[in-house]
Amino acid sequence: MTEQWEHTDAKLAEQWTRIRALLRAEVGDAAFNSWLKPLTLGEILGTRLRIAVPTRFMRDWIEQNYGTKLTEFWKEENPNISQVEVIVEPQRTNVQAPLEGLRGQGDLRTTLVSSRTSNEIEGGVNEESIKDETENVQALLDKRFIFKNFIVGRTNELAHAAARRAAESDQVQFNPLFLFGSVGLGKTHLMHAIAWHITERDPKRRVLYMSAEKFMYQFIRALRFRTTMDFKEQFRSVDVLMIDDIQFICGKESTQEEFFHTFNALVDQNRQIVVSADKSPSDLDGMEERLRSRLGCGLVADIHPTDYELRLSILQDKADHLGAELPDKVLEFLAHKITSNVRELEGALNRIVAQSTLVGRPISLETTQEVLRDLLRANDRRVTIEEIQKKVAEHFNIRLVDMHSARRARAVARPRQVAMYLSKQLTARSLPEIGRKFGGRDHTTVMHAVKKVEELRSTDNSFHEDVELLKRMLEI
């Protein structure tokens, strides 16, 4: 009897080894190491085979995600088996830190050895748990980043409205909320505002806000300290998960894999997810396709570059907050000149106010220009002749090639003159240089165009407005 059992055991073990190899091939190394590797073979009861896992959470996950596969593979290997039962048996199983999953994945391994956080990982310092972070999320939020301080304009109204909706409603209306826009335009501000709002309204809701970078480090640390199960469970127990700057995990496969599972588990439980990035989901190169499509399937709201009106409102609001007296002319000048992003705009304002307080001189346009000389130079928009030609052609609805062509019909000649005029006004190019860019025309032709446009601007109001509009569009 015993002999027969040993024989059966050995056979089962052999079959199990083959099945594990099949599973690994099927789901990939990372998922295998996270989920399937800790499984151990249990006993066989009639036609039922038992597989043991260390936690209930894992059992549910395995059943839900890999149950069918497991049964299918077993049935093929062993016709006596008709059912696979996943049971929880903590002491039996040997939970391993799946560091093997990192093999061949340069990103994580390099981070482990080279990044400053490697000390953190090695030394085990800074051992705050994710649990503390959800209980204490407010401590991690910037006090200034609340809805009240967020100025809404045309360029960010959608993102703002979506953020408010996510913060105010009790039901999940879109999942995830994906906010994107380039740096310094208020993504983090909006995310903090959501977290503030939710936790203030209902302190019991567990909100976890984290940069994608930190998510990755926490994940690596969990691998290192063999606490991946805790990691998974803690992430999966939050009501709202907010991950900032998700583009950070582009190209980082294991972290993406982990995030993907977290994401799905939370969506399944109808928990809100908010994600930000510097690009739209479809533009996130190095992001796995399935994750990209998940990220894009809720509400995607972009924050466009600021426009003049928004910049001016932000400046007015911030100047009020600082209690600083700034002449309108200075605010308008800044709103006009510092177009890159809100962070720089704020920085510029702070510098001017600080300087004026320090030297005890009132703020004027001159002092502003002096204090911000370097910043202004960097923000100088260098619009190119090509951009001008393109914009003007679009505006007058002519073909771009007609900017260079010899056609003299008024319908193309006039827009071409406008483009030459704007090139003279908005770039530092000389007349001959401009002429060359317009199909090798002579500098006198450019001169003539400039004169003609000036003349028309003073006599034809709608023409004047057209040119003004173009100029403003090009200067933004």
Q: List contacts with Mg ion (CB under 5 A).
A: 187-188
Nearest distance from residue 244's CB to Mg ion, in Å? Answer: 6
Nearest distance from residue 184's CB to ligand ADP, in Å? Answer: 5
Nearest distance from residue 281's CB to ligand ADP, in Å? Answer: 16
- Collapsing DSSP states into helix, strand and coil, what is residue 299? strand
Side-chain half-sphere of 288: how many Cα atoms within 13 Å? 14
Nearest distance from residue 419's CB to ligand ADP, in Å? Answer: 34
246's contact among ligand ADP, Mg ion, none, with CB below 5 to 8 A by partner kind, is none
Nearest distance from residue 160's CB to ligand ADP, in Å? Answer: 8
CA distances from 232 to 7, 63, 283, 321 (A): 38, 16, 28, 42
| Residue 346 binding ligand ADP, by CB under 6 A | yes
Residue nearest to ligand ADP (CB): 186
Q: Are 411 and 398 in contact (CB under 8 A)?
A: yes
Nearest distance from residue 256's CB to ligand ADP, in Å? Answer: 21
| Residue 161 binding ligand ADP, by CB under 6 A | no
Give the H/E segment covering residue 53. strand 48-53
Q: What are phi and psi of 124, to 5 degrees?
A: 70, 20
| Residue 342 binding ligand ADP, by CB under 6 A | yes
Supply 244's token pair.
């900032």
Query: What whole-number distance in Å separates Cα of residue 306 and Cα of residue 156?
Result: 8
Binding segment toward ligand ADP, per CB under 6 A, in 86-94, 106-114, 129-137, 180-188: 180-188
CB atoms within 10 A of CB 379: 18
Q: Are 432 and 443 in contact (CB under 8 A)?
A: yes
| Residue 151 binding ligand ADP, by CB under 6 A | yes
Residue nearer to Mg ion on the CB measure, 310 or 449? 310
- Collapsing DSSP states into helix, strand and coil, what is residue 79? coil
Query: What whole-number distance in Å separates Cα of residue 49 and Cα of residue 199?
Result: 46
List the one residue from 101, 176, 184, 415 that touches ligand ADP (CB under 6 A): 184
List the one residue from 13, 25, 161, 183 that touches ligand ADP (CB under 6 A): 183
Report 116-145 residues binding ligand ADP (CB under 6 A). 145
Q: Are 319 and 331 in contact (CB under 8 A)?
A: yes
Residue nearer to Mg ion on the CB measure, 107 or 244? 244
Nearest distance from residue 341's CB to ligand ADP, in Å? Answer: 7
Note the helical H segments in 47-92: 56-77
Nearest distance from residue 109's CB to ligand ADP, in Å? Answer: 29
Starting from the edge strand earliest in sequence, which strands make up the sheet with 177-180, in order?
A: 207-211, 240-244, 272-277, 177-180, 299-302
Query: What whole-number distance in Å separates Cα of residue 474 and Cα of residue 216?
Result: 41
Q: Are 44 and 5 in contact (CB under 8 A)?
A: no
Binding segment toward ligand ADP, per CB under 6 A, in 181-189, 256-264, 279-287, 422-430: 181-189
Query: What whole-number distance in Å separates Cα of residue 261 and Cα of residue 77?
Result: 29
List the one residue from 186, 281, 298, 435 that touches ligand ADP (CB under 6 A): 186
151's contact among ligand ADP, Mg ion, none, with CB below 5 to 8 A by partner kind, is ligand ADP
Residue nearer to ligand ADP on the CB measure, 182 or 405? 182
Report 293-332 residues binding ligand ADP (CB under 6 A). 314
145's contact among ligand ADP, Mg ion, none, with CB below 5 to 8 A by partner kind, is ligand ADP
Nearest distance from residue 154's CB to ligand ADP, in Å? Answer: 11
List the one residue from 185, 291, 353, 372 that touches ligand ADP (CB under 6 A): 185
Terminal alpha carbon distance of the chain = 86
Nearest distance from residue 345's CB to ligand ADP, in Å? Answer: 7
Work out the angle at residue 23's Cα, subtended by the Cα atoms of residues 22 and 24, and round it to the nearest 5 degrees: 90
Binding segment toward ligand ADP, per CB under 6 A, in 68-76, 187-195, 370-378, 455-463: 187-195
Taking each continuous run of H as one helix and of E as one strand, the counts in the chain are 22, 8
Residues that bind ligand ADP (CB under 6 A): 145, 149-151, 156, 181, 183-189, 314, 342-343, 346
